[in-house]
Amino acid sequence: MALAGVGDAAAVTQLIGQAIGLVAMIIRAVDTVRQNRLECEHLACRVSTVDGVLSNLPRDQEMAPPLKVLKNTLEEAHRMVIACQNRGAASHFFGSRRHADCFNQVNNRIISDIVILNLSLNSYMARRHSNQVLQPSHIGVPTATIAMAPWPGSSSAPLQTLMVVSQQSQVSSISSDNPRALTWAEIAAATSFSVELGRGSSGRVYKGRLQFQFHFHHGTEVAVKVLEKHRRQGVEDAFMAESNILSGLRHDHIVRLVGWCAEQDYRMLVYEHMGKGTLRDHLQHFGGGPSSSPVTTSWETRVEVLLGVARAIHYLHCGADPLVIHRNVSSSNILLDGANWTPRLSGFGSAVFQAAGVEEHGGQLVEEVVGTPGYIEPEYSGTHRVSAASDVYSFGVVVLEALTGRPPDIYGVTLGLLVDSVLPSVQEGKLREVLDGHSALQPTPRQMEALDLVAYTASRCLCPRGHNRLAMSDVVANLHRALQTIRSN
């Protein structure tokens, strides 16, 4: 009898476990049904707005390639909706997770296709304007807006909007340096993919030279970023963010996007080449940074570079339309041109548009924390909320690098962060103990006065809480004052 009791207890325990498992499955299924419904609503919203936009597109052969891609995606979306209608109740309920994932993927593909269509339209209108072939029939065509969900891996807060502009509004604001769509053949003619300038998590960058007449002179050196094919979703995210955000930015200290390629599975971005490498190269004396470069040997040049980058970040936060959070400010993403060492901020693959009103709530929520180790603010890392203050923190780390000549992540581990090892000395007024010891950098008293202000600015950028940090306008003002002090020496 005792053995029978043990067996019964085991059977009951097994049944309880099975019942608990079924309850969990049902709860998950209910959640995915809700998600499926939400994705369907997103799909319906996008399709209805796309319908209004397509009627205003120019009837030009240049629009055909991106339109074919969009048509294929819409056909797949239609097949999914029909299949969803024809499924049985049980399949509809318990298979919802798989279908929700499929709807999410096709939604993201529609976003990507619309971005490419928008870039093609901008390129088309730039050439129309430069050739002065605007037709009277284009006047009065209204601007169309496509409302989209936040970028995958970015904000889950308010909807982003992508403008597909009319001929009239685009021509009135077009400039001579708008990026254009490039074919694989044009990029292949510009580079042999033999001179590698660098590589990152999303792809490799190669040196090239333009072989066609464009807004840059024939023969201009370019940097071609080839995004890795095997990381499809990450590639689409980076391509959409960088091409869409960077194509709308105009600033002397932000890298210029020359063009882009989205043929078949290829995703490539082409920039004007900055011949002197990165700020980190020169601070660490490797790669493109010889020990005789002015960035290596001159405090004036270092502060000039910092001031240029600060102005670029201030433009992103206060002057761009829409406003932008970079999310990956680092010395490796600060390029120096070959003529006068002018800095250009690059690396916009992780950038996001700044949602309105989120600063009051501690920033906008993102799915994934991205950035370079050693530069990521603790608040952002812990809460997944990013804000303009996150860029301020990262820039503060860059300032410490410029003052000390040390890398941001000394040992590759948390205990080796530059902020932890250097900031206490700065805050205690012992800046001389941590300054870069290069023989050409022994500061005069007047230079030391300026560097103390730069160090103070860095410490205010690195406050643990974002609301206590300086605004970039104050950072620009302090660095400008420090540079004037150095020049008055």
- Tokens for 316, please give them: 């992103």
Name the architecture of domain 279-487: Orthogonal Bundle (1.10)
For residue 52, the model assigns a pLDDT of 58
Confidence class for position 199, pLDDT limits 50, 70, 90: confident
Segment 146-175 mean pLDDT: 34
Of the ranges 134-148, 301-315, 358-372, which is most confident?
301-315
In CATH terms, 180-272 corresponds, of 3.30.200.20, 3.30.70.1560, 3.40.50.1110, 3.40.50.300, to: 3.30.200.20
Estimate to the nearest angstrom the gap between the alpha carbon of 276 and the chain centroid: 23
Residue 113: burial class (beta carbons within 10 Å; 0-12, 13-18, 19+): buried
- Tokens for 321, please give them: 């339309």
- State how far the Cα of 159 lies from the Cα of 416, in Å rounded to an integer: 39
- State how far the Cα of 380 lies from the Cα of 248, in Å rounded to an integer: 26
pLDDT digits (tens, 9 = 90+) for 58-83: 777 777 777 777 777 787 777 777 76
Residue 277 confidence (pLDDT) above 50? yes
Residue 216 confidence (pLDDT) above 60? no
Segment 460-475 mean pLDDT: 95
DSSP per residue, 289-356: --TTSHHHH-HHHHHHHHHHHHHHHHIIIIISSS-EE-S---GGGEEE-TTT--EEE--GGG-EEPPT
Residue 388 confidence (pLDDT) above 60? yes
Residue 233 confidence (pLDDT) above 70? no
- State how far the Cα of 274 lies from the Cα of 295, in Å rounded to an integer: 15
Q: Is residue 71 part of an annotated ligand binding site?
A: no
| Helical H segments across 131-256, by residue range | 167-173, 184-190, 232-246
Task: Tell me which of 194 and 352 has the higher pLDDT.
Answer: 352
Mean pLDDT of the chain: 76
Contact 394, 371 (CB under 8 A): yes
Confidence class for position 144, pLDDT limits 50, 70, 90: very low
Segment 184-209 mean pLDDT: 83
pLDDT digits (tens, 9 = 90+) for 31-42: 555 656 666 666
- State how far the Cα of 265 lies from the Cα of 235, in Å rounded to an integer: 10
Residue 111: burial class (beta carbons within 10 Å; 0-12, 13-18, 19+): buried
Residue 434 confidence (pLDDT) above 60? yes
Q: What are phi and psi of 408, to 5 degrees?
A: -75, -25
Segment 314-331 mean pLDDT: 94
For residue 351, the model assigns a pLDDT of 92
Segment 4-9 mean pLDDT: 64
Residue 301 confidence (pLDDT) above 90? yes
For residue 182, the model assigns a pLDDT of 84
CA distance to 219, 232, 248, 350, per residue, from 227 (Å): 24, 9, 21, 14
Task: Tell me which of 64 and 55 has the higher pLDDT.
Answer: 64
Percent of the chain at pLDDT exceeding 90: 33
For residue 344, the model assigns a pLDDT of 96
- Tokens for 271, please give them: 């920039």
Segment 405-417 mean pLDDT: 71
For residue 262, the model assigns a pLDDT of 83
CA dihedral 299, 305, 309, 311 (to 10 degrees): 80
pLDDT digits (tens, 9 = 90+) for 79-132: 777 766 555 544 444 445 556 667 666 766 776 676 677 667 766 665 665 554
Contact 391, 326 (CB under 8 A): yes
For residue 402, the model assigns a pLDDT of 96
Confidence class for position 2, pLDDT limits 50, 70, 90: low
CB atoms within 10 A of CB 26: 12
Confidence class for position 164, pLDDT limits 50, 70, 90: very low
For residue 167, the model assigns a pLDDT of 32
- State how far the Cα of 243 lies from the Cα of 471, in Å rounded to an integer: 27
Confidence class for position 334, pLDDT limits 50, 70, 90: very high
Residue 371 confidence (pLDDT) above 80? yes
Segment 393-421 mean pLDDT: 84
322 prior amide bond cis, ω within 30: yes
